[in-house]
Amino acid sequence: MSKYTKGKWMTNKISDCLFHICSLEGGHICRMEAGSYDEKDKNKANAQLISAAPELLEACKEIQHLNPHKTHKIFIRLKQAIAKAEGLKEKQ
C-alpha cells in the first residue's frame, strides 16, 4: 500500500489537550483532541504513537524480510500487523 502520506510524521502540540500530526513535508495527517483535561496524557501518547506509525511499519517490513517464511508466532503476528496497516486482510 502506498496511499498513506510517505515520510516521517511529527506531533505538533497546540495545547495540553490538542495535537496535530503532520508529515515533515507539511501535509496534515490528523488532529487529536482530548475529550477532557483528564485525558490529556492519553491523548498525547496516542498522538505520539500515530506519528511513529510510518517508521514502525517500515521497521516491521524490514524485520519480516529477514526471513519471510518463519512460522514462529511472532512472525505470524508481524505479518498480520503489516497487513492491517496496509488495509489488507491477512489469510489465517
How much is the pTM? 0.80
The per-residue pLDDT for 68 is 65
β-strand 9-15 against 28-33: which pairing, if any?
unpaired
Q: Domain boundaries in the chain?
A: 9-85
Which tops the pLDDT comparison, 46 or 66?
46
Listed residue (29, 59, 25) closest to 47, CA to CA: 29
Q: Among residues of the chain, what percentage have pLDDT more than 90?
A: 54
Beta partners for 20? 12, 31
